Amino acid sequence: MLAEALLEWYGREARDLPWRRTRDPYAILVSEVMLQQTQVARVVPRWEAWLERWPTPEALAAAPIAEVLGAWVGLGYNRRALRLREACVAVADGGWPEDLRTLPGIGPYTAAAVGAFAFGRDELPVDTNVRRVLERTGFVPSATPPELGQALMELGAMVCRAREAACSACPVASSCASAGAVVIAPRGRAGDGVRRERFEDSNRWVRGRVVEALAAGGELPEGIELERLERAIEGLIRDGLVRRGTDGLSLPM
C-alpha cells in the first residue's frame, strides 16, 4: 500500500531533474558525486556544463587534473573531483565493473545509486533522505525498483524533511508510523551558549579559496591569516590537490 501510494505521488510530483532523464552510468555518477552536500539548484547547471565539456568517462579520464579541479570550483570538497576522475580512468581502462564499489572513491551509496538508476538493479540507495523516510514510516521495501528509490529520495527532500515534516501533504501519511507525531528538535539560537563556526572561519573555506585562486592562475587569496593559509595549503598538498614546486604552488597536471 505505501509503495503504491508513494510511486503514484512520485509520478505526479517528481521534479524534472536532467539526470533522471538518462540511463547513462557516467552521467548519473557525475550527478551523484556533485550532489554530495551540494544543493540541487546549484548542481543542475554545473552538471549540464560538465557533461557538455566531458561527455564520456574516457573524456574525463584524459582531462588534465588542473582543468578538472578548475571546473569543480564552487562545488566544494575538491577531493570529490579527483576521485571522480580516478573512477573514470578505471572505467576507461576496463569498462564498468559488476561491483561498482571497486571503482576509486565509490562507496556503497553511490554504487547502489548508479546500479539502480543506470543499470536497473534491484538496489536501494540509502542516503540521509531515504534513511529518514524509512525510519519515520517504518517502511521495509520487499522489492526496490529504481523508481521506488527515486520516490523515497524525493519524499525525503520535499515533504518528509529533517527540519520540517509536512505530514498533511504526505502521500503515505495514512500508512506512516510517525504521521502527525514527528518531533523536530529546535534549532540552536543565539545566546544559547553554543558557539557555531561560520563557514568563512573554517579550514574548508580557505582550501576552496586557494584552489579557486590557483585555478584562475592568480595569486593566493588575500586577507587570510598566514597560519590559516599555510595549514590549508599543507592539507591540499597532502591530498594531492596542490603541488609545491620551485616556481611556487600550482594545481597538479
Asked whether residue 18 falls in the same domain as residue 129, the answer is yes
Residues 94, 204 within the same domain: no
193 domain-assigned: no
121 pLDDT more than 90? yes
How many domains would you assign to the chain?
2
The dihedral built from the CA positions of residue 111, 85, 71 and 203, taken in this order, carries a sign that is: positive
Instruction: Let me know whether 134 and 216 are in one domain.
Output: no
- Please pick, among 4, 8, 13, 32, the residue that the annotation labels catalytic: 32
If asked whether residues 6 and 97 sit together in one domain, one would say yes
Over residues 146-194, the pLDDT tens digits come to 999 999 999 999 999 998 899 999 999 999 999 988 877 666 554 455 5
Q: Which of 41-50, 138-147, 166-175, 210-219 has the lowest mean pLDDT?
A: 210-219
**68-82, 116-130, 217-231: range with lowest mean pLDDT:** 217-231
CB 17 within 8 A of CB 150: no
Q: Are residues 221 and 140 in the same domain?
A: no
| The pLDDT of residue 201 | 74
The CATH number covering residue 33 comes to: 1.10.340.30
Quote helix, strand, coil % in the chain, to nearest 5: 55, 5, 40
Predicted local distance difference test score (pLDDT) of residue 233:
84
Residues 218, 219, 220, 221: is their CA dihedral positive or negative? negative
Residue 115 lies in a domain: yes
pLDDT of residue 103: 97
Which DSSP string corresponds to 201-243?
Answer: GSHHHHHHHHHHHHHTT-PPPSSS-HHHHHHHHHHHHHTTS-E
Q: What does the pLDDT read at residue 79? A: 92
pTM for the full model? Answer: 0.86
Three-class DSSP category at 249: strand
Domain check: are 73 and 132 in the same one?
yes
Answer with the residue of higher pLDDT: 239 or 29.
29
> pLDDT band for position 64 (50/70/90)?
very high
Measured distance CA(40)–CA(13) in Å, rounded: 16
Domain that holds residue 67: 2-158
Query: Which helix (H) or strand (E) element contains residue 11?
Result: helix 2-13
Whether 165 is covered by a domain: the verdict is no
d(CA 43, CA 80): 14
Whether residue 154 sits in one domain with residue 206: no
123 is catalytic: no
pLDDT of residue 190: 47
Q: Are 126 and 68 found together in one domain?
A: yes
Residues 147 and 211 in one domain: no
End of a domain among 128, 158, 188? Answer: 158
**Predicted confidence (pLDDT) per residue in 237-247, tens digit:** 888 888 888 77
Q: Is 94 domain-assigned?
A: yes
- Contacts of the segment 217-223: beta carbons below 8 A, 24+ positions apart: 220/249
- Grid coordinates representing 137 are 514510516
Task: Indicate whether 107 and 208 sit together in one domain.
Answer: no
In a domain, 175, yes or no: no
Average pLDDT over the chain, rounded to an integer? 90
Residue 173, in any domain of the structure = no
149 and 205 both lie in a single domain: no
**Does 229 map to a domain?**
yes
Phi-psi bin for 77: left (phi > 0), alpha (psi -120 to 50), beta? left
Mean pLDDT to the nearest integer, 44-71: 97
Among candidate residues 109, 141, 158, the one where a domain is terminated? 158
- Domain ends where: 158, 175, 210? 158
Instruction: Tell me whether residue 129 is in a domain.
Output: yes
Q: What percent of the chain has pLDDT over 70?
A: 95
